[in-house]
Amino acid sequence: MNLLYRVQKDCCHYEDISEPHYHDEYEVLLGLTDGGTFIINGHSYPLCHGMLFVLGQGVIHQCVANISSYEKYILHFPLETLTELSSAKTDLQTLFANFDYLSLLLNEEQFISFRSVIERCLTSTDSFGSDLEHSMALVELILCISELLRSDISGESSAPTRDYEKMRPIFDYIHEHYAEDIRLEQLSRRFFISKYHLCRQFKALTGFTVGAYVTNYRIRQACILLRKGISVQETGEIVGFNSNSHFVRTFGKIIGMSPGKYAKVY
């Protein structure tokens, strides 16, 4: 069984906050802690302990999580994996092809069983048989998910929020101009929305204040730059911090280590 898949336990800080994006693979996300919002096809869902998301290929999603503390498992696997597993009776390929996404708050029992299966996909040793055990755990996980899909296929799982469509340009603006000085007044003038309304809606949708979101987004970009080997000084300037000491302090507070150390570790 040479099944293709990748599992991570939130090792990449920059994935906690992302621009809207999609993969040509399936994605499974299991939230371990509370904090943040997951936006799928314009509907926002809370990121919290026990929240399970399964995304089909090409579904646009965006993760707006608290970069400092949010923990999750993420698993990606391509369509080929499903094709290989499908049998005449159990057509996983068709089942997975016919849905966009699933979001479900697991009860504690389900959560524990899901977590243990994912962990079995993740453990890495080199011993005889361990690779097969990982693959078998993945098959088990896909079977669990397919059960959920089949029971869920009837209805929408959560009430959609249309607010996202209104906020989308604001996200885009922040993602484009994060390096500049972004002020509430500026946003409210530009998008013809009162400061009060903007704050309230942004917070309701994402769980973040606008300011906190901008800071988190800058730190996220900083993580990417530091991983590329760009110096701390330069990184701070590029992502829009006015002073280097301010950058270092903010980075340390959010990530839990100084940018210099972060660059070394990754």
Partner 1 sequence: MGTHFEILKYAQDRNPNSHIHEELEILISLNNEGKFFVREHGYPLRFGMVFVLPPFEIHRCFCNGNQNYDRYILHFPRELLREMSTKRTDLLELFTAAPLVYQVPDDILAKLLKTLSALVKDTGDGFGDDIARNLQFEDLLLTIAKFFKSVERGPQLVLENEGRVGEILNYIHANYEHEITLDTIAKDLFISRSQLSQVFKNATGFSVGDYIIMYRIKRACSLLQSGMQVQDVSAAVGFQTTANFIRIFKKKIGCPPGKFAQGLQGKDSI
The binding site for partner 1 (CB under 8 A) comprises 1-2, 84-85, 87-90, 92, 95, 126, 128-133, 136, 139-140, 143, 146-147, 150
Among candidate residues 27, 49, 154, 65, the one with its CA nearest the CA of residue 110: 49
Output the smallest distance, CB 126 to partner 1, in A. 7
Angle 149-150-156 (CA atoms, 0-180°, nearest 5)?
60
Q: What is the DSSP string of 1-50?
A: -----EEEES--GGGTB--SB--SSEEEEEE-S--EEEEETTEEEE--TT
The nearer residue to partner 1, 8 or 90, going by C-beta atoms, is 90
Output the smallest distance, CB 164 to partner 1, in A. 34
Output the smallest distance, CB 131 to partner 1, in A. 5
The nearer residue to partner 1, 112 or 143, going by C-beta atoms, is 143
The nearer residue to partner 1, 85 or 232, going by C-beta atoms, is 85
At 209, give phi and psi (nearest 5°): -80, 160
The nearer residue to partner 1, 51 or 92, going by C-beta atoms, is 92
Output the smallest distance, CB 153 to partner 1, in A. 11
Among candidate residues 226, 259, 238, 220, the one with its CA nearest the CA of residue 179: 238
Q: Which residues, at least 6 apart from 72, have a Cβ–Cβ distance to it below 8 Å? A: 9, 10, 29, 30, 31, 32, 33, 47, 65
Both tokens of 176, joined, read 């484009």
Under 8 Å between Cβ of 93 and 86? yes
Output the smallest distance, CB 128 to partner 1, in A. 5
The nearer residue to partner 1, 146 or 216, going by C-beta atoms, is 146
Output the smallest distance, CB 122 to partner 1, in A. 17
| Count of CB atoms situated within 10 Å of the CB of 34 | 17
The nearer residue to partner 1, 76 or 134, going by C-beta atoms, is 134
Among candidate residues 27, 146, 129, the one with its CA nearest the CA of residue 86: 146
Identify the bridge partners of residue 75 per DSSP, sorted by sequence position: 7, 28
Handedness of CA 216, 217, 219, 220 (dihedral sign): positive
Identify the bridge partners of residue 36 per DSSP, sorted by sequence position: 65
The nearer residue to partner 1, 26 or 247, going by C-beta atoms, is 26
